């Protein structure tokens, strides 16, 4: 078992977590100042977004220089201090690495467009035919109508899976692969504990085969993993691969690709189960996901900084989800819903807790999105996915303890929705979430024990066994009596099997 099997992960957006210098923008020192809070909550690993220099047209996922710290967030010394302070508290730190594409402001791209025959000429995917790769879907459907853009300077089109200003790197160019290996080494040598590999399915494109999960991509991951195993054996890489279930699992390989993969197949099913009052979507999806190779782990999550993606949902499921969760059409973003956990649950404490309990007990290591532990709201009037990226609420009142300056994005607020208030109230969501984290830690078998479905005989009640623990979750607003266990509306229970007796549930 590795450290990440039982780690509690916490995703904090740098610009939105805590502003140490009053310029209205969260920063690295701000995060360092809140490490005590993360330790108190029970966090084992902090996930930071791309912190590199960037024009910030995609919140830093548009990288202009992989080896520098974005000055908006601080300095390299600030980053090193954050790492040191986190490690001193036993908290690991991983960061996002967007390696499928760069910003068009990156030096490589500037050179590539200027000098096709030069050393960077092949670093990007250039072509003369903007209809090439017709099978490749567009991801940012709200903003883009093609994956190709015309570059006046070079007189060619370049390929981009995301925004036009994010040209795709050309992984067929060996020098690009070498650059990425060296960037990984650069940060690992500083003591970083791992990476989230952003948009990893899209590294290669092939005529007739599209541009997702190609054999070449897996071969690259295997080489990257071999290097990491040899040079940084404690490091962890987690893949963002939002693909159909079996394809998602391919990112583990036989344990020779990435260590962890976000469980995109399960995530929307959790919300579908709540919306329909039926446990069936979860039984079905978990049936489809066989056990993982040794030493691999799912990253289980409810929400993150993106829309709640429905790209892989069937048309019927997508409609059900939009009907349930995007009644306000502004909540739709690309193919999904940009809302936070608490508003998705219409502020219903019972449902929010139910989902946190699932997060802690489903196969995988839990990832918590900052602010969800206090039931923070969102602001659907904001563009793109910024509805779910508003400042963390530390205290009541103006600035929310986040900043003394004028913030770029509004603070959502809401009475009682702050860390300070909830820390004083034993019955608060924050204290409940903290308790669930502690409970998860008291059951280390949840990190590795296989998932076994348990039929409860009640459509709305999801039952499964992990090791010696029976986990029950009621997706309905009705009381349920299962014999030895009673569940209130949206109730949940983690029951040691020996307390139940044979075949009672
Ligand atoms: C990933 C990130 C998303 C970003 C995109 C392009 O999907 O999660 O926030 O916009 O990659 O880098």
Query: Among 101, 312, 128, which Cα is nearest to 203's?
Result: 101
Pocket residues: Cβ below 6 A from ligand 1: 58, 61, 98, 162, 198-199, 240, 305-306
Which of 58, 198, 378, 379 is the catalytic position? 198
Q: Ligand 1 atom closest to Cα of 58? A: 10
Q: Ligand 1 atom closest to Cα of 140? A: 10
Active site residue 222: no
Which of 27, 212, 240, 250 is the catalytic position? 240
Active site residue 288: no
Return d(Cα 149, Cα 373) in angstroms, integer.
41
Q: Ligand 1 atom closest to Cα of 62? A: 12
Query: Quick check: 274 and 309 in contact, CB under 8 A?
Result: no
Distance 49 CA to ligand 1 centre (A): 10
Tens place of pLDDT per residue across the chain (505 aa): 999 999 999 999 999 999 999 999 999 999 999 999 999 999 999 999 999 999 999 999 999 999 999 999 999 999 999 999 999 999 999 999 999 999 999 999 999 999 999 999 999 999 999 999 999 999 999 999 999 999 999 999 999 999 999 999 999 999 999 999 999 999 999 999 999 999 999 999 999 999 999 999 999 999 999 999 999 999 999 999 999 999 999 999 999 999 999 999 999 999 999 999 999 999 999 999 999 998 999 999 999 999 999 999 999 999 999 999 999 999 999 999 999 999 999 999 999 999 999 999 999 999 999 999 999 999 999 999 999 999 999 999 999 999 999 999 999 999 999 999 999 999 999 999 999 999 999 999 999 999 999 999 999 999 999 999 999 999 999 999 999 999 999 999 999 999 886 555 5
Return d(Cα 225, Cα 184) in angstroms, integer.
11
What pTM value is reported for the model? 0.98
Distance 451 CA to ligand 1 centre (A): 30
Strands 451-454 and 365-369: unpaired
Return d(Cα 42, Cα 4) in angstroms, integer.
14
DSSP, collapsed to helix, strand or coil, labels residue 95 as: strand
Distance 36 CA to ligand 1 centre (A): 29
Beta strands in 359-457 (DSSP E): 365-369, 451-454
Nearest CA to ligand 1 atom 7: 199
Q: Domains in the chain, ordered, with CATH? A: 7-98+173-443 (3.20.20.80), 100-167 (3.90.400.10), 449-497 (no CATH)
Instruction: Tell me the CA distances in angstroms from 295 to 2, 86, 252, 263, 452, one per residue in order.
Output: 7, 25, 10, 16, 19
Q: Ligand 1 atom closest to Cα of 101? A: 12
Query: Among 289, 251, 250, which Cα is nearest to 269's?
Result: 289
Query: Quick check: 252 and 296 in contact, CB under 8 A?
Result: yes
Distance 62 CA to ligand 1 centre (A): 9
Distance 198 CA to ligand 1 centre (A): 7
Q: Ligand 1 atom closest to Cα of 385? A: 9
Return d(Cα 352, Cα 329) in angstroms, integer.
22
Distance 58 CA to ligand 1 centre (A): 8
Residue from 306, 333, 336, 383 whose mutation best tests the ligand 1 pocket (most atoms within 8 A of CB): 306
Return d(Cα 140, Cα 17) in angstroms, integer.
25
Nearest CA to ligand 1 atom 2: 198
- Torsion angle (degrees, nearest 10) of CA 177, 183, 186, 191: -110
Q: 298 pairs with which residues across the strands?
A: 261
Return d(Cα 262, Cα 332) in angstroms, integer.
22
Q: Which DSSP state fits 280? A: H
Nearest CA to ligand 1 atom 12: 61
């Amino acid at each position: 078992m590795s450290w990440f099997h039982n780690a509690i992960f916490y995703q904090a957006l740098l610009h939105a977590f805590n502003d140490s210098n009053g310029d209205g923008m969260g920063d690295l020192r701000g995060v360092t100042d809140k490490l005590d809070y993360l330790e108190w909550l029970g966090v084992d690993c902090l996930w930071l977004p791309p912190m590199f220099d960037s024009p910030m047209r995609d919140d830093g996922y548009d990288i202009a220089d992989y080896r520098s710290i974005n000055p908006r967030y601080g300095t390299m010394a600030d980053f090193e201090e954050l790492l040191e302070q986190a490690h001193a508290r036993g908290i690991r730190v991983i960061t996002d690495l967007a390696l499928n594409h760069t910003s068009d402001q990156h030096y490589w791209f500037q050179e590539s467009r200027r000098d096709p025959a030069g050393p960077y000429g092949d670093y990007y995917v250039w072509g003369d035919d903007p209809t090439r790769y017709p099978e490749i879907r567009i991801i940012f459907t709200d903003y883009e109508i093609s994956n190709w853009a015309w570059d006046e300077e070079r007189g060619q089109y370049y390929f981009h899976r995301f925004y036009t200003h994010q040209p795709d790197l050309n992984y067929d160019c060996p020098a690009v692969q070498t650059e990425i290996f060296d960037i990984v080494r650069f940060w690992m040598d500083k003591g970083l504990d791992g990476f989230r590999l952003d948009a990893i399915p899209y590294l290669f494109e092939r005529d007739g085969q599209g541009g997702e999960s190609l054999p070449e991509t897996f071969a690259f991951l295997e080489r990257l993993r071999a290097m990491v195993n040899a040079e940084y054996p404690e490091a962890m890489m987690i893949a963002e691969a939002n693909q159909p279930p079996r394809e998602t699992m391919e990112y583990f390989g036989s344990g020779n690709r990435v260590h962890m993969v976000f469980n995109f197949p399960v995530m929307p099913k959790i919300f579908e189960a709540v919306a329909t009052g039926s446990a069936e979507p979860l039984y079905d999806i978990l049936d489809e996901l066989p056990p993982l190779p040794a030493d691999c782990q799912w990253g289980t999550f409810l929400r993150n900084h993106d829309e709640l993606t429905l790209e892989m949902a069937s048309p019927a499921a997508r409609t059900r989800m939009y009907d349930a969760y995007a009644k306000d059409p502004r909540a739709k973003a690309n193919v999904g819903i940009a809302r936070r956990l608490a508003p998705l649950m219409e502020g219903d404490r019972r449902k929010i807790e139910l989902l946190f309990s699932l997060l802690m007990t489903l196969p995988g290591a839990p990832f918590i999105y900052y602010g969800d532990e206090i039931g923070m709201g969102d602001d659907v009037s904001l563009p793109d996915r910024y509805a779910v990226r508003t400042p963390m609420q530390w205290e009541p009142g103006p600035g929310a303890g986040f900043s003394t300056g004028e913030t770029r994005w509004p603070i959502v607020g809401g009475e009682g929705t702050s860390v300070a208030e909830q820390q004083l109230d034993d019955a608060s969501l924050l204290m409940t979430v903290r308790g669930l984290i502690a409970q998860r830690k008291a059951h280390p078998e949840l990190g590795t024990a296989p998932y076994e479905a348990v039929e409860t005989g009640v459509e709305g009640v999801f039952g499964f066994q992990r090791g010696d623990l029976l986990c029950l979750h009621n997706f309905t607003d009705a009381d349920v009596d299962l014999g030895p266990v009673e569940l209130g509306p949206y109730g949940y229970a983690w029951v040691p099997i020996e307390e139940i007796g044979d075949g009672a549930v």
